Amino acid sequence: MMARKVLHVALNGVTGRMGYRQHLVRSLLAIREQGGVPLAGGGTVYPEPVLVGRSEARLREIAERHSLPRWSTSLDEVLADPRVEVYFDTQVTSARVASLGKAIAAGKHVYTEKPVADSLDGATALARAAREAGVINGVVQDKLFLPGMIKLRRLVRDGFFGRVLSVRLEFGYWVFEGDQIPAQRPSWNYRAAEGGGIVLDMFPHWHYLLENLFGPVTAVYARQATHLPRRWDEAGAPYDVTAGDGAYAVLELSGGVMASVNASWAVRVNRRELLEVQVDGTHGSAVAGLRHCAVQHRSCTPRAVWNPDLPDPVDYPAQWTDVPDNAEFDNGFKVQWEQFLRAVAEGTPLPWNLAEGARGVQLAELALQSSAEGRRVGVPPLTAT
């Protein structure tokens, strides 16, 4: 019988929706149900969650629901336990730097949601600390592992587009104000002092997506907006929004590719999915979402003619072909958790680490600077990490 290595993983923020659904239930518990993660040299690594949070009642309820024996409201107590080797953070952004810093100082391997910090200084400090401590570290970059983006990456790899000309990213949906219908996002997302705002929340995503698919971002021109200045919190109390709920940007990528980004929590959806990325190249185009990816080769491109005086007879959406689901696609969060657990067990670095997370925060800060100053801002190399 092959050996099984048990990794005790502290999960901080597991009572939140994302922490509970994606990271605990659909990732770590699913990995336990399949018997762990196979290792290259044989055997498996098996996660043992230790729940951490502020609410004793909610932690106890989750632990009892899933028959998990260990939970605590004291992060210091958990980090002092030598059996705990891994710390994962999915708290509010403003609390992340202090907790990750404690975990690194305690010698724990760290994995975290993004953004890794609410400032570039905080993000680079964490990356340096992890490097100096010699701990394995990783940042959640889940959208790389979505079925639609996996299909898109295959098209790029196989040269389907020829020379890529432009990328258009559309993201968002209507987040209810909270006065009549409860909001789908927590109120701290709309408070700048708590690390809220769509730029800090989403631009780290756009950074790793664009860079991994098409190349580094070299310059940005962005404008953020607060479209809905008043919302209602979880208790039904009104509050003033202090962070942007919309962001619009033009990003320059290496090789001359231009990317436009529209992201908004105040937009009504007329797309197949909440996130769509259109790529246009000399040989073909594609539109990828969370799960689907449709393509149009240059040999099948209809001849469009501008004539506003007559109805257009072409059904343009019908001219595209869906890329088939010719593989089994696992949950993207789970796939990256498996990679991280394997990296810890085998002592190998993870490519999506805190240094990469810091570069995502850098892009967010530069986008906010561009918006405040009304100008194009270059993206310098980030070498301090």
Q: Please give the CATH architecture assigned to the domain spanning 146-329.
A: 2-Layer Sandwich (3.30)
What whole-number distance in Å separates Cα of residue 180 and Cα of residue 200?
A: 27
Q: What is the pLDDT of residues 17-62, one digit of tens each?
A: 899 999 999 999 999 999 999 999 899 999 999 999 999 999 999 9
State yes or no: pLDDT of 1 exceeds 80: no
State yes or no: pLDDT of 384 exceeds 60: no
Q: What is the pLDDT of residues 226-267, one digit of tens each?
A: 999 999 999 999 999 999 999 999 999 999 999 999 999 999
Q: What is the pLDDT of residues 338-376, one digit of tens each?
A: 999 999 999 999 999 999 999 999 999 999 999 999 999
Q: Count the neighbouring beta carbons within 10 Å of the beta carbon of residue 366.
A: 21
Average pLDDT, integer, range 196-215 = 96
pTM score, two decimals? 0.94
Distances (CA, A) of 382 to 72, 204, 224: 37, 14, 24
Share of the chain above pLDDT 70, in %: 99
- Max CA-CA distance within the chain? 75
As given in the structure block, the two tokens for residue 30 are 């699913």
State yes or no: pLDDT of 131 exceeds 60: yes
Catalogue the E-assigned strands of the chain. Answer: 4-12, 37-38, 44-52, 71-72, 84-89, 109-112, 137-139, 164-172, 217-225, 230-232, 238-240, 246-253, 258-264, 275-281, 284-288, 293-297, 321-322, 377-378
Dihedral sign for Cα atoms in the order 102, 103, 104, 106 = positive
Same fold, 4-142+332-353 and 146-329: no
User: 147-157 and 198-214 helices cross at what angle (nearest 10)?
Assistant: 40
Q: pLDDT averaged over the chain?
A: 96
CATH superfamily of 4-142+332-353: NAD(P)-binding Rossmann-like Domain (3.40.50.720)
How confident is residue 90, by pLDDT bands cut at 50, 70 and 90? very high
Q: What pLDDT is stored for residue 125 in this prediction?
A: 97
238: left (phi over 0), alpha (psi -120 to 50) or beta: beta
Q: What pLDDT is stored for residue 101 in this prediction?
A: 98
Of 61-65, 192-196, 376-380, the poorest mean pLDDT is in: 192-196
Q: What pLDDT is stored for residue 385 in this prediction?
A: 58
Residues whose CB falls within 8 Å of the CB of residue 341, separated by 6 or more in sequence, listed in order: 7, 31, 37, 45, 47, 86
Residues whose CB falls within 8 Å of the CB of residue 377, separated by 6 or more in sequence, listed in order: 219, 220, 221, 366, 367, 369, 370
What ranges do the domains of the chain cover?
Answer: 4-142+332-353, 146-329
Average pLDDT, integer, range 331-335 = 95
Q: What is the pLDDT of residues 158-182, one digit of tens each?
A: 999 999 999 999 999 999 999 999 9
Q: What pLDDT is stored for residue 383 in this prediction?
A: 76
